[in-house]
Amino acid sequence: MKDKALEEKFLALYDGQVDTLFRFVFFRVSDHELAKDIVQEAFLKMWQTLDTGRTIENERAFLFRIAGNLVIDRYRKAKEYSLDSLAEEGFDAPDDIEIPIETKIDVDTAMEKLQSIPEKYREAVWLRAVEEWSVKDIAELLEETENVISVRIHRGLKLWRVLVKESSGKKIPPQTL
């Protein structure tokens, strides 16, 4: 009975978080297969933790912390890893997606510029703007206060906006800085 409830709980967590977790990991490693491996390993570790009977207050934040730590471990092991591998190798996308070229270029530019802002801002901005996490959830994941995360999001968005506008050749009015 307990095993069935645990399995259902885990499957609900998996179904609800697998896509978001994949994007979270892929954003950091820029390698489709490596991201899939890390996500699989993160869910395995989550299962093992749940199976011990340990109570986890925020399972989503705990799962993302596991994945973040696994990404760090991979970087430590590899020492050298190209962030350009996505551009070189590409990624699997459904064939039926049609995106106007201007939109694709704008999105590519924006994502490239997001990669160039400092990590402490980049992670908070990504989780808030792209993944639509709450400030509270981001604070729990990053083990910071909500105020610190709000400031990082604000500063990161400001910096990101400046970089994207500079790359497009548009003049930036002083009041927007």
Q: What is the residue-wise DSSP string for the chain?
A: -HHHHHHHHHHHHHHHHHHHHHHHHHHHH--HHHHHHHHHHHHHHHHHHHHTT---S-HHHHHHHHHHHHHHHHHHHHS---TTHHHHH-----TT----HHHHHHHHHHHHHHHHS-HHHHHHHIIIIIS---HHHHHHHHT--HHHHHHHHHHHHHHHHHHHHHHHTPPPPGGG-
Res 137: pLDDT: 86
Res 177: pLDDT: 46
Res 147: pLDDT: 92
Residues 75 and 119 in one domain: no
- Structural domain of residue 52, as residue ranges? 1-92
Q: What is the mean pLDDT of each run of 10 residues along the chain (177 residues)?
A: 79 90 87 90 90 86 89 72 48 45 58 84 85 85 89 89 77 50
What CATH number did the domain enclosing 72 receive? 1.10.1740
Residues 36 and 63 in one domain: yes
What CATH number did the domain enclosing 141 receive? 1.10.10.10
Residues 88 and 1 in one domain: yes
